[in-house]
Structure 1
Amino acid sequence: MRKTQTTVLKRVIVDYKKLDNTMLNLLVEKFPDGYDDDDIVTYRNASKEVVECVEVRTEDTAYLIKVSKRLVMAMEDYEESENDDDEPSLDAEELEASEEE
């Protein structure tokens, strides 16, 4: 019998505020048309609050990125800036301000 070695992925929970352009790129690649309810992973945190996330994987890490209106806006802004051939950027303060309006 052959022994198979399973690769254990590091699991990381990320808030949208801590997303860098690499993570945004992974999100846009995986969900080019946005994500829907089937893509959402739900769990309860230590405070017993329900948290909704979408999962993105790299070779060694599974990222759970917390879902929010601001995440959707960040993905859309990133995709638009990529299409403009400009250097993509993420301005968390601008996203927060637009959500408050």
Structure 2
Amino acid sequence: MRDNLKRVIVDFKKLTPEILALLVEKYPDGYDEDHIISFRNAKNEIVEAVEVTTKDTKYLVKVSTKLAVTMENYDEDDYDEDSYDDPEAVQPPDVPEEEDDND
């Protein structure tokens, strides 16, 4: 049976506290290689992501060093209810910049 969930690809810049909380709940000890899904995007680039699902949406969150560190340091008290769907509420951690040829 095929699910009828909306599928959304999320990179760190678009990560909201709500999605971050779902990730930490699903992967309390962090994610590892067994949790990572690889697929090709519309530009035929290989994307690696971890999956979290709500009742109506499947989120594929792109894996990165920033994501792993942010999940590790997550504290729900850092976010108030008003910012729960605001991607600007999740601040990038101090990690060396990842190489990204698209910038």
Q: TM-score, normalised by structure 1?
A: 0.76
What aligned pairs does 1:59-78 form with structure 2 within 5 A after superposition?
A: 59-78=55-74
* Structure number having the greater helix percentage: 1
RMSD: 1.9
Shift of 1:31: 0.1
Larger CA deviation: 43-52 vs 53-62: 43-52
1:11 is matched with 7
What aligned pairs does 1:29-68 form with structure 2 within 5 A after superposition?
A: 29-68=25-64
- Give the whole-Å Cα distance in 1 for the aligned partners of 2:15 and 2:59: 11
1:99 is matched with 96
The structure, 1 or 2, with the larger RCO (C-alpha pairs under 8 Å, 6+ apart) is: 2
Corresponding pairs, count: 88
Question: Where does structure 1 differ by over 6 angstroms across 4 or more consecutive aligned residues?
Answer: none
Q: Which has the larger radius of gyration?
A: 1
- Give the whole-Å Cα distance in 1 for the aligned partners of 2:18 and 2:41: 26
Where do 5+ consecutive residues of structure 1 fail to align? none
Identity across matched positions, percent: 53
Where do 5+ consecutive residues of structure 2 fail to align? 80-88, 98-103
- Give the whole-Å Cα distance in 1 for the aligned partners of 2:27 and 2:49: 13
- Give the whole-Å Cα distance in 2 for the aligned partners of 1:77 and 1:12: 24
> Match of 1:99, as an amino acid?
P
- Give the whole-Å Cα distance in 1 for the aligned partners of 2:3 and 2:32: 28
Shift of 1:49: 1.6
